[in-house]
Chains A and B, each alone.
Chain A
């Protein structure tokens, strides 16, 4: 059984001028010990999907099963208990730490709220995690503004791990950092996964980060998953034209442009195109694409694509 199993999840917002369908019928699974990458361009709903799974945003419909329990219907007390097992690392390490609290307080409060240990035990847990994520020993008595971006992200990671969760939703954890710091943070995440047996849902718009990091990759477009494959398959034989366009956009001196680049911007999620939602920007679109929405179908074991013209891959 998968650790996290999301089925037909939708998150709609009611905005001026209609319903904004940020997440529109997403199904995905994250297995125990697995790292699933979720990629897509800005505004495609990947962060909303992450926040919905975290129950920070209420879903409009669908189920989110964690360890077999549907966490969309839990009452407040049981949701609080469930939260211990799912934690989140945020994108902006400058916004995700309360500037008024010392690091020691930031890390101790979750333990207090969940009634873990006595004062001395909590102190020990906090000191242990601070050392694991590579923060200086005197960090506990300092405020967030005294740290650099990379160190703050380490604090954010320490906070996410302090309740000993099983699944960590990483919402673009490195995109706000310098390239050299990105590598350090990614290595730290890999280390933590190995040491603590974590599973990650890794949200990113940076394909090279996901390529380095993920076991399996989901490509999201306009609120829906359009392609899902394991990391190697996706990079060797991407099937959806959107996936190919995304990969083409990654600069690589060794590879010449092959797929046509995509033009224009993401259509508004308030006004999703009929038929295939990518047809407005797809270089291969036909009348079939404009009229009929493609099913999300398996073209080979473990490789699903939502495109009428995807062909089975031969490995």
Chain B
């Protein structure tokens, strides 16, 4: 083994402390009289020679996961579509550009055909990606941020703070969420930012409950006790010690939340409660639903866009969960 010589030098100083590796290693006083004391410790040798690249480890695990990569590739396509939509189709996707009911492939200028009003379906799907991603990502970020703050405070501090915050969470959870969403959007203007905030308002309690449960379990662990006995402040314990350990379920939840937010926006648009000035996948399905027997592609194409985007987000969430858990990734 080539690495043995390399490790022998620094292994000597270590040996003074009777290295903990060998199960049969004797306690210190006797160690000096052992005849095999100078045998190189094979395990420390190999450990010392293995290059350790900790920074890239999570990334490497994530990149080697085929499901996650499928998710990333498809989501990149959606992001690309959203970015390129105004370049490829600078015209308003709601304007009439051709004869209605062109089937996909009938006219090369409109690869995915036109709808009942003669609007380009491909242009609609590309522009629809913008609103879906905007609503999905921003609503999740808001819901996650607020939910984590509330859940962490409730779970970490306990006592009356917990009682108070749990009541608040329960108030939101007892109201049927989609009804609340419809009411909020109906009262305010049905614009994209309003829809986004409304979705965040109905999704944060799930995050808060999950975060609270994780924090309650983790705050009793010895490493949190150790952090307290070392005099760490509350913020450091919450964000540096506990939160990283509470992340895996939150990451999975957040990818599902993006998917749910996209679905909710679609549902609102389908019901005609979305922003009437922008085209979205949901509004396209809503407009096509009466023609489902004669022109099924009008509902199927935006529907497939939703299905694959949601699936991609779920796969990414799973991949992140595997990659961010160092022990799990090691055992695979």
B230 to chain A minimum Cβ distance, whole angstroms, is 5
Which chain A residue shows the least CB distance to B328?
A145
Answer yes or no: A97 CB below 8 A from chain B CBs.
yes
Contact B231 A113 (CB under 8 A): yes
CA distance A3 to B59 in the complex (A): 50
Contact with B along A129-168 (1 / 0, CB 8 A): 0010111111001110110101101101001000100000
A19 to chain B minimum Cβ distance, whole angstroms, is 18
Interface residues of B (CB under 8 A from A): 10, 13-14, 16-21, 23-29, 44, 47-48, 52, 54, 221-223, 225-233, 236, 240-241, 244-245, 326-327, 330
Which chain A residue shows the least CB distance to B7?
A136
Which chain B residue shows the least CB distance to A182?
B27
Instruction: Pick 24 A–B contacts, CB within 8 A, sort by A.
Output: A83-B229, A86-B229, A87-B229, A87-B230, A88-B225, A90-B226, A98-B223, A98-B227, A100-B244, A109-B230, A113-B233, A131-B13, A136-B10, A136-B19, A138-B47, A138-B52, A141-B54, A148-B21, A154-B20, A156-B226, A181-B20, A185-B20, A186-B27, A187-B27
Which chain A residue shows the least CB distance to B327?
A145
Answer yes or no: A42 CB below 8 A from chain B CBs.
no
Which chain A residue shows the least CB distance to B10?
A137
Contact B28 A184 (CB under 8 A): yes
Which chain B residue shows the least CB distance to A81?
B231
Answer yes or no: A62 CB below 8 A from chain B CBs.
no
CA distance A251 to B214 in the complex (A): 43
Contact with B along A56-97 (1 / 0, CB 8 A): 100000000000000000000001110110111011100111
CA distance A178 to B229 in the complex (A): 27
Which chain A residue shows the least CB distance to B15?
A134
CA distance A101 to B14 in the complex (A): 23
CA distance A48 to B226 in the complex (A): 15
Kindly identify which residue among B27, B48, B222 contacts A183, using a CB–CB cutoff of 8 Å: B27
Q: Residues of A contacting B221 with CB < 8 Å?
A: 95
Q: Residues of B contacting A88 with CB < 8 Å?
A: 225-226, 229
Q: Residues of B contacting A117 with CB < 8 Å?
A: none
Known: A113-B233, A136-B47, A159-B226. A100 touches B245 (CB 8 A): yes
Which chain B residue shows the least CB distance to A114?
B231
B215 to chain A minimum Cβ distance, whole angstroms, is 14
Which chain A residue shows the least CB distance to B22?
A180
Kindly identify which residue among A54, A99, A143, A148 contacts B245, using a CB–CB cutoff of 8 Å: A99
Segment 241-269 of A: residues with Cβ below 8 Å from B: none
Which chain B residue shows the least CB distance to A113?
B232
Kindly identify which residue among B24, B229, B330 contacts A56, using a CB–CB cutoff of 8 Å: B229
B234 to chain A minimum Cβ distance, whole angstroms, is 10
